[in-house]
């Protein structure tokens, strides 16, 4: 639940206290930074330090779902969504990569998302007195459940390979365009909790123009068919929020010529505090049921677009001809201003040229 004081708002999807806070729906099935080892792959490899050769095109399609019933508050505290809140998100991601020669690669990624937040309604009346009429009851009913479907953010990337052997090293720039953003409105008429229509909204993107720079290291041990990959980077977030440190580590192991298992970690850590864009309302005790929920169970906090998270994941890749089928599961273990998401995805990677 939040009240925006500017033309922008917090774009994670969260429910807090007697108003809606919706979980950030970052899909962890990103554009296939994992694949079979170099000893198993030709030029169609989709691992990020493996820049595609000139004339090679890689296409990936991923479908997945994310779920959450709890969140990490801006101070790092973990708590359940109030009013039995539950978030479900579904996505279809399409990405394409193009080898343009001279160690360069262009990429594109777009997502179609559907999100749903369900929570118990609250009849918020003063001094336990009924509103006095059917219209009065309707005006005093606070409803936080929301749904949205549409295009999320779009990503454009450029990669350059610096070294191929024995260690692979590449640089990557990625620009995120906020195509899935809806301008904010006040959560409550008048901007304060109380009886009346809840005007909280949801967005399919995070409303941010971001620019990422990453250094990507990769190394394969041929004898054991083991892959190590390390990414470190910096995310510049424009128009207010704090910038982020980016880090990821992947460990993969091939079994035969067609099967590959991997473990991974992924993190984005906020480096400094951005400027407030409004006020968010947080439940003091999220376990209070709807029948007993009152404005006394609400506290306010500054609303910022800053966020951090640390997630772990695991999965498998099956390679058949020039197709790679990718199954992965991830879990957010820690965060600030972020939901405790569980994400499952299945994708297929194709290559041409």
Residue 149 neighbours by CB under 8 Å, 6+ apart: 112, 113, 114, 115, 204
Of 186 and 325, the structure prediction assigns the larger pLDDT to 325
Sheet with 78-80, edge to edge strand ranges: 78-80, 70-72, 338-339
Mean pLDDT over 69-96 rounds to 93
For the segment 263-302, what is each residue's pLDDT rounded down to a tens digit?
A: 999 999 999 999 887 777 788 999 999 888 887 888 888 8
Q: What is the pLDDT of residue 5?
A: 36
Regarding beta strands 57-68 and 342-352, do their DSSP bridges make them parallel or antiparallel, or are they unpaired?
antiparallel
In sequence order, the β-bridge partners of residue 16 are 19
Mean pLDDT of the chain: 80
By C-alpha distance, which of 263, 136, 146, 158 is closest to 213? 158
CA dihedral 289, 294, 297, 302 (to 10 degrees): 120
CA–CA separation, 49 and 59 (whole Å): 17
b/e code 287-307 from CB counts within 10 Å (16+ = b) = ebebeebeeebbeebebbbbb
For the segment 245-260, what is each residue's pLDDT rounded down to a tens digit?
A: 999 999 999 999 899 9
Residue 90 neighbours by CB under 8 Å, 6+ apart: 63, 64, 65, 66, 113, 114, 115
In the chain the domains, ranked by start, together with CATH numbers, are 2-352 (2.40.160.40)
CA–CA separation, 93 and 109 (whole Å): 7
CA distances from 93 to 36, 173, 198, 349 (A): 21, 19, 32, 12
pTM over 0.85: no
The full length of the chain comes to 353
**Which range, 183-197, 227-241, 270-284, has the best average confidence (pLDDT)?**
227-241
Q: What is the pLDDT of residue 138?
A: 58
Is the pLDDT at 335 greater than 50? The verdict is: yes
Of 232 and 3, the structure prediction assigns the larger pLDDT to 232
For the segment 94-148, what is each residue's pLDDT rounded down to a tens digit?
A: 999 999 999 999 999 999 999 998 888 887 655 444 555 555 555 566 777 888 8
Q: What is the pLDDT of residue 40?
A: 35
Binning pLDDT at 50, 70 and 90, where does residue 36 land? very low
């Amino acid at each position: 639940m939040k009240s925006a004081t500017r033309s922008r708002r917090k774009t994670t999807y969260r429910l807090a206290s007697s108003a809606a806070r919706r979980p950030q729906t970052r899909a962890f099935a990103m554009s296939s930074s994992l694949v079979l080892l170099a000893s198993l792959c030709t030029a169609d490899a989709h691992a990020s330090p493996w820049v595609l050769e000139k004339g090679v095109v890689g296409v990936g399609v991923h479908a997945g779902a994310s779920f959450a019933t709890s969140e990490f508050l801006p101070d790092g505290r973990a708590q359940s969504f109030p009013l039995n809140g539950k978030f479900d998100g579904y996505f279809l991601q399409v990405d394409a990569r193009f080898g343009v020669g001279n160690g360069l690669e262009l990429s594109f990624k777009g997502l179609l998302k559907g999100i749903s937040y369900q929570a118990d309604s609250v009849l918020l009346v003063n001094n336990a007195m009924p509103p006095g009429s059917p219209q009065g009851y309707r005006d005093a009913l606070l409803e936080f459940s929301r749904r949205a479907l549409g295009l999320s953010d779009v990503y454009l990337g450029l990669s350059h390979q610096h070294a191929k052997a024995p260690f692979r090293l590449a640089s990557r720039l990625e620009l995120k365009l906020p195509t899935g953003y809806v301008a904010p409105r006040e959560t409550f008429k008048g901007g304060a909790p109380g009886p009346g229509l809840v005007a909280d909204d949801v967005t399919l993107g995070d409303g941010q123009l971001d620019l990422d720079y990453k250094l990507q290291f990769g190394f394969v041990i041929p004898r054991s068919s083991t892959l190590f990959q390390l990414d470190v980077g910096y995310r510049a977030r424009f128009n207010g929020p704090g910038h982020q440190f980016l880090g990821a580590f992947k460990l993969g192991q091939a079994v035969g010529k067609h099967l590959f298992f991997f473990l991974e970690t992924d993190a984005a850590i906020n480096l400094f505090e951005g400027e407030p864009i409004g006020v968010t309302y947080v439940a003091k005790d999220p376990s209070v049921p709807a029948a007993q929920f009152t404005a006394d169970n609400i506290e306010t906090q500054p609303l910022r677009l800053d966020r951090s998270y640390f997630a772990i994941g695991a999965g498998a890749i099956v390679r058949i001809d020039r197709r790679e089928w990718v199954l992965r599961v991830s879990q957010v273990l820690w965060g600030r201003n972020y939901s405790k998401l569980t994400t499952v995805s299945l994708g297929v990677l194709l290559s041409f040229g």
